[in-house]
Amino acid sequence: MAHYAGSCHCGALTLDFASEKSPADLGARTCQCSYCRKHGASWTSDPEGRAELAVAGPVSRYRFGTKTADFLVCATCGVVLAAVSEIDGRLRGVVRVDCLDDSAAFLAQAAPMDLDGEVLDARLDRRAQRWTPVAITEKG
């Protein structure tokens, strides 16, 4: 399994995204919602992979729209590292490609996506099928 490291700007939030797939196969999705456009965010996920987020500083959680996902924002530097949602008792998420050390390899395959018209049940089903299993640990 390949490991892709990433972090927020100040390093208080770090990420290890593991996948059998290459960055070209995973690609990136550039969300067209108002929040992601304002942040210039692109995302990737692998339902067969895993993401481990380590929190060593203050983190804010931001919810909007359907209020079914938390955007994890470093409270020190303001960078959004991931979005997570609890689905069927399991935490799943998408990682922000822009925060990965090898972001260019993912962004070369970026494609816009617009999910504004997606109904809630379809949104949760899509996340259950496509988002990555996530573990979050607190670092002292």
Its CATH class, for the domain covering 2-138, is: mainly beta
d(CA 88, CA 57): 28
Nearest to 64 by CA among 80, 75, 44: 80
Residue 111 tokens, joined = 């494609």
Q: Is 38 helix (H, G, I), strand (E, B) or coil?
A: helix
Choose the weakest-confidence range: 3-12, 44-53, 61-70, 83-92.
61-70
Angle at 26 between CA 30 and CA 53, to 5 degrees: 80
d(CA 123, CA 117): 10
The model's pLDDT over 103-129, given as tens digits with 9 standing for 90+, comes to 999 888 777 776 667 677 887 887 888
pLDDT band per the 50, 70, 90 thresholds, residue 82: very high
Contact 53, 137 (CB under 8 A): yes
Residue type, 12: A
Q: Tell me if the pTM is above 0.85.
A: yes
Segments making up each domain of the chain, as ranges = 2-138
